[in-house]
Amino acid sequence: MNCPLPLREEHGERGTHTVIGNRREALKRGFLMIGAAVGVGTAGKALVSSSGDSAPARSRGPRMEQLTLHGRQWHLTSTELKPGQLPDKGSRLLGRGELVDAPGATGTAIGEFHATSFGIDSPGRAGADGAATLEFHTFNLSDGTLMGSGTARASLDAADVFAIVGGTGKYVGARGSYVARQQPLELGGDGTAQFTLTLITEEGLDGRG
């Protein structure tokens, strides 16, 4: 049984108006308002979910490349050794040179090379691999720095293998290895060098993707 609701007047800024109805209509209106609110809430969640979805992540992973660097004006100096003298055990040496993009005088300068070396055995008593020095290399390039480490033989014809142990800039997180051929002037070489690198980097670590 529907019980009519009493008439009532509501007063507000917009004037006075009369509200009339019954309980069924009131309940119906209440359910309609609740249903509308639920619908708006669901739609809002759907919009938030849709707008919150990020774009599919780009595939990232190891990237391998081959890089060849050439050197000129290759020097190896030490306050403990005379020019031409091979390093003795414990001797300290400094290497330096100019990195270029092609061999010979026509190459364009692209960076600098610096090395710190330590003698690890006396001349003539090197190990089975002929290692004479323990070396730490730094390649300063326009887009970052590469660092390497390993042992080198005393022969000017030696092709020594070094590990890439890190880098900065474009080469952050770099790893891999390289073959080094160095002929410093002070050891009777022609002052040139060549490095053939197998470089592995992780895409996106430098912020470039």
Q: Are residues 94 and 188 in the same domain?
A: yes
What is the rounded CA–CA span in Å between residue 126 and residue 109? 35
User: Do 99 and 74 contact (CB within 8 A), yes or no?
Assistant: no
Domain encompassing residue 44: 8-50
What is the rounded CA–CA span in Å between residue 197 and residue 179? 7
pLDDT, the chain, mean: 78
Q: Are residues 106 and 34 in the same domain?
A: no
| Domain-located, residue 169 | yes
- Which residues, at least 6 apart from 193, have a Cβ–Cβ distance to it below 8 Å? 70, 71, 72, 74, 97, 113, 180, 181, 182, 183
**Residue 43 falls in which region: left (phi positive, over 0), alpha (psi -120 to 50) or beta:** alpha
Selected residue with higher pLDDT from 155 and 97: 97
Where residue 48 falls among pLDDT bands split at 50, 70, 90?
A: very low
Selected residue with higher pLDDT from 132 and 41: 132
Flag whether the pTM goes above 0.75.
no
Q: Are residues 157 and 134 in the same domain?
A: yes
In the structure encoding, which two tokens stand for residue 168, read together? 């900065």
Query: What's phi and psi for 51, nearest 5 deg?
Result: -75, -25
What is the rounded CA–CA span in Å between residue 153 and residue 157? 9
List the beta bridge partners of residue 134. Answer: 118, 151
Q: Are residues 15 and 44 in the same domain?
A: yes
Q: Are residues 114 and 161 in the same domain?
A: yes
Percent of the chain predicted with pLDDT > 90: 45
Q: Are residues 97 and 26 in the same domain?
A: no
| Domain-located, residue 171 | yes
| Domain-located, residue 56 | no
| Domain-located, residue 195 | yes
Number of domains in the chain: 2
| Domain-located, residue 69 | yes
